[in-house]
Amino acid sequence: MTELWPIALALAATGAVGGVLAGLLGVGGGIVIVPVLFMLLQSMGLEAGPAMAIATATSLLTIVPTSMSSAWAHHKRGNVDFTLIRTWSLPMLTGVVAGSLLTSYTSGAGLGIVFGCIALLVAANMLLRAGSPPLWPALPALPLQGLLAAMVGFFSVLMGVGAGTLGVPTMTSFNVKPHRAVGTAALFGLVIALPSSLILLLTATTPMGAPSGTVGLVNLPGILLILPGTTLLAPYGVKLGAKLDGRRLKQVFACFLSLVGLRMLWQSLV
């Protein structure tokens, strides 16, 4: 029993860090939760493939209350674009369902490769384009917006993250103001996380050797340990983001994300 305490404390701390980052940087707490869960599950004797699948699905369920908490905090500051929510939600949901079904049947190693590659791309965007002007002056025509929304939903599910990791850089590239992009992505996190986590909870097959309390691909004890930090500290991250140098924070986080992405790729490919 005593050997479980370090794991429990690590999960609680991960939830706290993930919650702050969700509100502070708009990258989504999943970008921290997934690699930590991946390493912890491996330390418990689970192979890399199943560990990645469970980490991805468990992270998605933690995003549901976190996104609600973060979105409400941003809404009170007028940072949620409801026109964009209405335009993007349906195509994003289509991508989410497709990504969820693929996650149910793909190997965990494949998910690790997707996570590692996209994490490196997100880190490069943070490092090389911090403070740069938008790539385009405005959002494209509606059909292309729908395609972008579907891709954000699809790849976010494969990574086990909310909309912040991919949605925020997508929106800001088309001249959506950063704070508005972060707030809107927080609500999109609910569109991504709720249906995908339900699919992975109710329809996926639990891998052999999964920790007790795993239903489908979701580890319920892990959820209970992570959720308090992510839910309670997301609004604090929003407040903190209004006071700190966001550009410098993103550069530091990008370096961390690069290391995480490289490690994930190494473990998935070797």
Distance of alpha carbon 24 from alpha carbon 18, whole angstroms: 10
Is pLDDT at 105 greater than 90 in this prediction? no
Residue 3: per-residue pLDDT: 59
Residue 184: per-residue pLDDT: 93
pLDDT digits (tens, 9 = 90+) for 2-20: 456 777 887 888 788 777 7
pLDDT digits (tens, 9 = 90+) for 134-166: 889 999 999 999 999 999 999 999 999 988 889
Is pLDDT at 176 greater than 80 in this prediction? yes
Is pLDDT at 26 greater than 70 in this prediction? no
Residue 2: per-residue pLDDT: 46
Cβ-contact 161, 30 below 8 angstroms: yes
Residue 21: pLDDT band by 50, 70, 90 thresholds? confident
Backbone φ/ψ region at 91: left (φ over 0), alpha (ψ -120 to 50), beta:
alpha
What interhelical angle do 178-202 and 220-241 show, nearest 10? 170
pLDDT digits (tens, 9 = 90+) for 240-259: 766 766 666 667 677 877 88
Higher local confidence (pLDDT), 107 or 51:
51
Cα-Cα-Cα-Cα dihedral sign, residues 97, 18, 59, 270: positive
Q: Hey, where are the domains in the chain?
A: 2-269
pLDDT digits (tens, 9 = 90+) for 198-237: 999 998 889 888 888 899 999 998 898 888 877 777 677 7
Which residues, 6 or more positions from 151, have their beta carbon under 8 angstroms from its beta carbon?
A: 95, 166
H or E element: which one contains 214? strand 214-215
pTM for the model stands at 0.86
Take residue 106 and report the two structure tokens written for it: 């793909």
Distance of alpha carbon 78 from alpha carbon 183, whole angstroms: 8
Residue 4: per-residue pLDDT: 65
Residue 242: per-residue pLDDT: 66
